[in-house]
């Protein structure tokens, strides 16, 4: 059976831009230190809200990937969805109140109901709710109920439960598909289209990282700091491109769950690297916090992109030597960051050892795979 091909429409790129705006707003939750520290709840709130936003993006993206034909009503629903995303993004704040929380939940419900509507239209055309569209409707309605309960909790003064209801909504959306299977035909999924959508979202997130580090480029003086920051971002980007775009075979028929879940962590880790740079630049933070944040974010980033090694072209394998080399450069870079704690150059050089070292290992694997193809 031929692999399902699907072209990414221009409106999908517009949709991704709006969601990256929402993701970039998340940094406002944790990029301002309080007495030189980041409150643990703020970091927890950041991570949970990140997952909520990315999951909302994925709900609509999955519909488009499986059934979207961009008919007139799909454009209208996409516009409504995007307007709701902008409202939702503007509710994100380090100091949430009841009003903002209710507005956030209402925006999420609008986004979810737009996707339910689209799946319902498709299920009605098929005259069956037993397939993938019916599964998605059931899952999304359960998630909607959770957000409705969350809204009621806010209205009746139970704000402490809201974050846990958001966690429940994330877990429901992520794991309920394993229990509500129905007659799911994985051939409806276009792996090439989905991979391209995730690549575009990640590339735009890297663009936000570039914007976030431009304040290092001080025109009144010149030093190596902005160059090192830029090299860290560009080598992270290079690692992502080699691993996901070059080594992964996009022309396949897959359920794509590994691709989906790994990109949640890829996008969040890129954003946290940006936050670590902003905290260091502020000069008002305990150096241990951005240092540990940077190390953990880079480890999560590389673990997440390497999780997609199962999609490699036939004949390409990640060897024990590759794994040992990647672990070694990551440990060396981490020791440099922590060994020179308080030094900006130690912070940046250590990070560059991690990103450049891993990039070189992946690039070498790609070049050897090209050489083997020429030989064979």
Looking at the fold, whether 198 and 304 belong to one and the same domain comes out as yes
Asked if 4 and 187 count as a contact pair (C-beta separation under 8 A), the reply is yes
Looking at the fold, whether 251 and 267 belong to one and the same domain comes out as yes
Looking at the fold, whether 23 and 137 belong to one and the same domain comes out as yes
CA–CA distance, 242 with 236 (Å, rounded to integer): 10
In the three-class reduction of DSSP (H, G, I as helix; E, B as strand; rest coil), residue 248 is classed as strand
Looking at the fold, whether 143 and 241 belong to one and the same domain comes out as no
Q: Sign (positive/negative) of CA torsion 162, 165, 171, 177?
A: negative
Looking at the fold, whether 35 and 162 belong to one and the same domain comes out as yes
In a domain, 180, yes or no: yes
CA–CA distance, 351 with 153 (Å, rounded to integer): 43
Among the listed residues 33, 30, 35, 89, the one whose alpha carbon sits nearest the alpha carbon of residue 57: 89
* Domain end marker among 187, 216, 236: 187
40: exposed, middle or buried (C-beta count within 10 Å: 0-12, 13-18, 19+)?
Answer: exposed
Q: Which residues, including other chains, have CB under 8 Å from residue 128's CB and lie 6 or more apart?
A: 134
DSSP for residue 287: T
Looking at the fold, whether 261 and 368 belong to one and the same domain comes out as yes
Looking at the fold, whether 199 and 319 belong to one and the same domain comes out as yes
DSSP string, 221-232: S--SHHHHHHHH
Looking at the fold, whether 142 and 206 belong to one and the same domain comes out as no
* Domain end marker among 135, 165, 187: 187
* Domain end marker among 144, 171, 187: 187
Burial pattern 300-338, b for ≥16 Cβ within 10 A else e, equals bbbebbbbbbebbeeebebeeebeebbeebbeebbebbb
CA–CA distance, 197 with 66 (Å, rounded to integer): 13
In the three-class reduction of DSSP (H, G, I as helix; E, B as strand; rest coil), residue 363 is classed as helix
Range of the domain at 250: 191-375
pLDDT in the model for residue 182:
59
The residue with tokens 């939702």 is: 88
In a domain, 42, yes or no: yes
Looking at the fold, whether 172 and 270 belong to one and the same domain comes out as no
Asked if 112 and 57 count as a contact pair (C-beta separation under 8 A), the reply is no
In a domain, 207, yes or no: yes
Looking at the fold, whether 217 and 354 belong to one and the same domain comes out as yes
In a domain, 339, yes or no: yes
DSSP string, 317-328: ---HHHHHHHHH
Cα atoms found within 13 Å of the Cα of residue 275, Cβ hemisphere only: 31
How many folded domains does the chain comprise? Answer: 2
Looking at the fold, whether 204 and 152 belong to one and the same domain comes out as no
In a domain, 4, yes or no: no
Looking at the fold, whether 56 and 199 belong to one and the same domain comes out as no
In a domain, 115, yes or no: yes
Query: In tens digits, what is the pLDDT along the chain, a chain of 376 residues?
Result: 567 788 899 999 999 989 888 888 877 777 666 677 777 777 888 888 888 889 899 999 999 999 999 999 999 999 999 999 999 888 887 776 777 888 888 999 999 999 999 999 998 887 777 777 888 888 899 999 999 998 888 888 888 888 888 888 888 887 777 776 656 667 788 899 999 999 999 999 999 889 888 888 888 878 888 899 999 999 999 999 999 999 999 988 887 889 999 999 999 999 999 989 988 877 677 889 889 999 999 999 999 999 999 999 988 888 899 999 999 999 999 999 999 998 889 999 999 999 999 999 999 999 988 877 654 4
In a domain, 1, yes or no: no
In a domain, 2, yes or no: no
């Amino acid at each position: 059976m031929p692999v399902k091909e699907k072209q990414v429409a221009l409106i999908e790129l517009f949709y991704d831009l709006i969601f990256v705006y929402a993701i970039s707003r998340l940094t406002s939750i944790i990029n301002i230190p309080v007495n030189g520290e980041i409150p643990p709840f703020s970091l927890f709130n950041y991570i949970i809200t990140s997952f909520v936003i990315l999951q909302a993006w994925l709900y609509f993206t999955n519909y488009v990937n499986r059934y979207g034909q961009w008919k007139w009503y799909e454009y209208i629903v996409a516009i409504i969805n995007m307007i709701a995303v902008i409202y939702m993004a503007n509710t994100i704040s380090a100091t949430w109140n009841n009003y903002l929380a209710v507005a956030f939940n209402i925006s999420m419900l609008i986004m979810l109901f737009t996707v339910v509507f689209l799946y319902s239209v498709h299920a009605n055309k098929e005259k069956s709710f037993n397939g993938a569209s019916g599964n998605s409707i059931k899952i999304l309605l359960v998630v909607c109920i959770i957000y409705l309960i969350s809204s009621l909790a806010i209205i009746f003064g139970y704000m402490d439960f809201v974050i846990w209801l958001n966690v429940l909504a994330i877990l429901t959306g992520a794991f309920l598909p394993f229990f509500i299977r129905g007659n799911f035909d994985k051939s409806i999924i276009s792996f090439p289209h989905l991979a391209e959508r995730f690549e575009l979202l990640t590339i735009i997130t890297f663009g936000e990282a570039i914007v976030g580090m431009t304040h290092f480029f001080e025109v009144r003086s010149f030093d190596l700091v902005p160059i090192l920051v830029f090299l860290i971002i560009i080598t992270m980007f290079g690692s992502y491109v080699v691993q996901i775009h070059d080594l992964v075979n996009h022309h396949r028929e897959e359920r794509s769950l590994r691709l989906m879940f790994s990109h949640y962590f890829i996008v969040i880790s890129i954003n946290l690297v940006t936050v670590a740079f902003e905290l260091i630049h502020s000069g008002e933070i305990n150096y241990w916090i951005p240092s540990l944040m940077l190390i953990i974010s880079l480890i999560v980033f590389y673990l997440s992109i390497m999780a997609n090694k199962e999609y490699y072209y036939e004949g390409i394998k990640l060897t024990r030597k590759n794994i040992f080399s990647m672990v070694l450069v990551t440990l060396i870079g981490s020791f440099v960051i922590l060994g020179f704690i308080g030094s900006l150059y130690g912070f940046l050089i250590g990070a560059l050892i991690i990103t450049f070292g891993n990039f070189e290992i992946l690039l070498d694997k790609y070049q050897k795979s090209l050489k083997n193809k020429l030989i064979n």
